[in-house]
Amino acid sequence: MYQLDLRNIANMHSLVASKMKTYYKYILISFIIIGLSSCYRVIKDIDGNRHLIRTFRDYKKEENYRNKRYFKYCSCEDDTNSSKRIIKEEVMDYTFYEYDSIRVYLSPYFYWGFSTNDSTEAVSIFQNYIDQYGTVFDIGLITGKSFYCELFDSCKVPKNTYGPILNLTSGDPLKPNLFGYEGPVVKILYIEEITKKTKAPKNKRRFEIYATTSKFESGWGSFPMFILELENDNVKKETELKDFLIGAKVTCFMYKGTQI
């Protein structure tokens, strides 16, 4: 017959209780830390459906959290086509790419005042964008139409319902143009790779893009924001972006909101 040692049972009970208290303390501390840095709230969408979202005190943390959610639920058909007729023109003041009558422009004039107040640095930003991200537009991963389809249901330039734009001095109608071009445009205001911030898989690269279809707007007012995800299954480890882009396909391109 085994005899129960009540003292051992009491000691074990005390040890378990102590560990449980420590465990609950860790849980409580974790909730306090999370509560200090972020909180959860329920919102309703336009259809009345409820969604639990997390908000952060730190804007950058909240932006990264939201971007990860965008990529999680974003998908699109890859429209990349190497046979597209690509027109590219490079001059000192700008570079544009044209595939479908909508030109995509990059220019140091867009970054002077938007990203920097130094004209020399604006030129440096422009050259960096061309060197790092030019291939995205050069091989047609995304085009002017890609932006318009995200912004407008018809994928076309919306009709002007406000009447003509007038010259304030003469009162004559103005024809809006960008570097002399009067057709539809997309102006790239800002590009940032956010692959590491959103913890993307090794075969994917992610980007945030600010752009506008206005010939006058250069980021001083409101402007649309987009996210882009590219996938290259031939890449097994981290590699240079230029090498990654060759053979990449679009797995997500989405308008995520307008910065005001």
Residue 8 pLDDT > 90: no
For the whole prediction, is pTM greater than 0.85? no
- Span 5-9, average pLDDT: 54
Angle among Cα 18, 20, 24 to the nearest 5 degrees reads 120
Q: Domain spans of the chain? A: 6-57, 75-259
Angle among Cα 244, 87, 218 to the nearest 5 degrees reads 80
The Cα–Cα gap between 219 and 115 comes to: 9
Residues 6 or more apart whose Cβ sits within 8 Å of residue 179 = 93, 94, 105, 107
169-212 pLDDT, tens digit each: 777 777 788 898 988 999 999 999 998 888 888 899 999 999 99
Give the strand pairing for 87-90 and 95-98. Answer: antiparallel
The Cα–Cα gap between 231 and 248 comes to: 5
Q: 185 with 212: CB under 8 angstroms? A: no
The Cα–Cα gap between 201 and 199 comes to: 7
Residue 41 pLDDT > 80: no
SS3 content of the chain, % helix, strand, coil (to 5): 30, 30, 40
Angle among Cα 143, 147, 152 to the nearest 5 degrees reads 135
Residue 233 pLDDT > 60: yes
Q: What is the per-residue pLDDT for 155?
A: 80
Residue 260 pLDDT > 60: yes
62-94 pLDDT, tens digit each: 666 666 666 676 766 655 554 556 788 988 889
Q: What is the per-residue pLDDT for 36?
A: 47
Give Cα separations from 226 to 15, 100, 189 (angstroms). Answer: 55, 20, 11
121-167 pLDDT, tens digit each: 999 999 999 999 999 999 889 999 999 999 988 787 776 645 566 66
10-37 pLDDT, tens digit each: 555 565 556 566 665 656 655 555 454 5
